[in-house]
Structure 1
């Protein structure tokens, strides 16, 4: 399991960094790439980190 401080990217709404601790779902997209959904610790929205 990755460390909780590993970055998933930034929130597309507020720009806050999102760490692995906030990960909700990992999945494979139709094009074969990996995707994630996470909760933003700042704005509390469920987002796809950028």
Structure 2
């Protein structure tokens, strides 16, 4: 496994880092900021990663 892989943040459910390769959707929120949804490779849930 590549330890230099960039992370999207941590899973809010299990706390594991989510690699960028697990990104599912990028979108713009109503306030103009960027939101993302990704799949957690550990718990297999679709989550909004936390920084």
Q: How many residues align?
A: 46
Cross-structure match for 1:26: 26
1:6 CA displacement:
1.4
Structure 2 regions of 5+ residues with no counterpart? none
Q: Distance in 2 between matches of 1:6 and 1:30?
A: 27
Q: Which has the larger radius of gyration?
A: 2
Which of structure 1's runs of 4+ aligned residues deviate more than 4 A? none
Tell me the TM-score normalized by structure 2.
0.87
